[in-house]
Amino acid sequence: MHKNKGDGDVLSRCKSQLSAAVIADALDSFGLHNQGLHPGLVALDTSQILCGFARVGLYMPIYHDDEDVRVYEQEIALVDSLLPGEVAVLVCHGNLRISPWGELLSERSMHLGAAGCLTDGCVRDSPQIRNLGFPVYAGGTNPSDTKYRGKMMMSDVPGEINGVSVSRGDLIFGDPDGVVIVPSDFMVRVVEKALIKVSTENTVRDEIRMGEALVDIFERHKIL
Q: How confident is the model at residue 5 (pLDDT cuts 50, 70, 90)?
A: low
User: What is the distance of C-alpha 138 from the center of its chain?
Assistant: 10
Domains of the chain: 34-184 (3.50.30.40)
Per-residue pLDDT at 194 exceeds 80: yes
Radius of gyration of the chain (CA): 19
- Three-state SS for 89? strand
Angle at the Cα of 45 (from 154 to 146), degrees rounded to 5?
Answer: 30
pLDDT at position 7: 80
Percent pLDDT > 90 in the chain is 85
Quickly state the pLDDT bin for 65 (edges 50, 70, 90): confident
**CA–CA distance, 3 with 168 (Å, rounded to integer):** 12
pLDDT at 3 over 70: no
| DSSP classification of residue 185 | G
Helix 7-17 vs helix 187-209: crossing angle, to nearest 10: 20
